[in-house]
Amino acid sequence: MGKRILVVDDSASVRTVAGIALREAGYEVLEAANGQEGLSRLNGERIHLVISDVNMPVLDGIGFLKEIKKHPSYKFTPVIMLTTEAGEDKKAEGRAAGAKAWIVKPFQPKVLLDAVSKLCMA
């Protein structure tokens, strides 16, 4: 079985594009539409990597990332932020919260897959 990845984004089209690319590369993909739903999806599941948007309703990406890092089972799980935010201050906020990589949308699936592959092997 391939490695399991959680994709959290309020945009269904972004989840679909990421999902197609990841599944085609052999990963198993779980999806959630916001941070809160993402936390529910974790629910003791074995997750190898998380890809999260930043600006989302209910619980945003940075809040979600902070919650993940508090969780003993997921604090070492690598997180990639996938967002329209390109500002250095936001990136710094993500880095401080524990993100491992930052990709600005729109993204090329290959760029995402390379980053996922690199972080899954680390």
Partner 1 sequence: MDHAALLRSSPPAGDVTDEQSALNSAALQSVPIWARQIDTARRQTEDAIVALTSRFAGTVNRLEKMLGQDSRSSSQQAKEASRENESDLTLVVDALKAIQKSRDELATDIRTLAGYTDELRKMASDVESIAFQTNMLALNAAIEAAHAGTAGQGFAVVAHEVRNLSTAARDTGKRIAQKVGAVSEALVKIGSSSERLSERDQKAVKASEDRIQSVLGRFAANAARLEHVAEESRTQSAQIKGEIGEALVQLQFQDRVGQILTQVVSTMNDVRTAKGAQEHMQKMLGSYTTEEQRRNHQGLAAEDVAPQEVTFF
Residue 54 C-beta-side C-alpha neighbours within 13 Å: 22
Q: Is 88 exposed, middle or buried (0-12, 13-18, 19+ CB in 10 A)?
A: exposed
Query: Using CB under 8 A, which of 11, 67, 93, 117 touches partner 1?
Result: 11
Stretch that binds partner 1, among 27-35, 42-50, 65-73, 103-111 (CB under 8 A): 103-111
Binding region for partner 1 (CB under 8 A): 9, 11-14, 16-17, 19-20, 24, 54-55, 80, 83-87, 91, 94-95, 99-109, 111-112, 114-115, 118
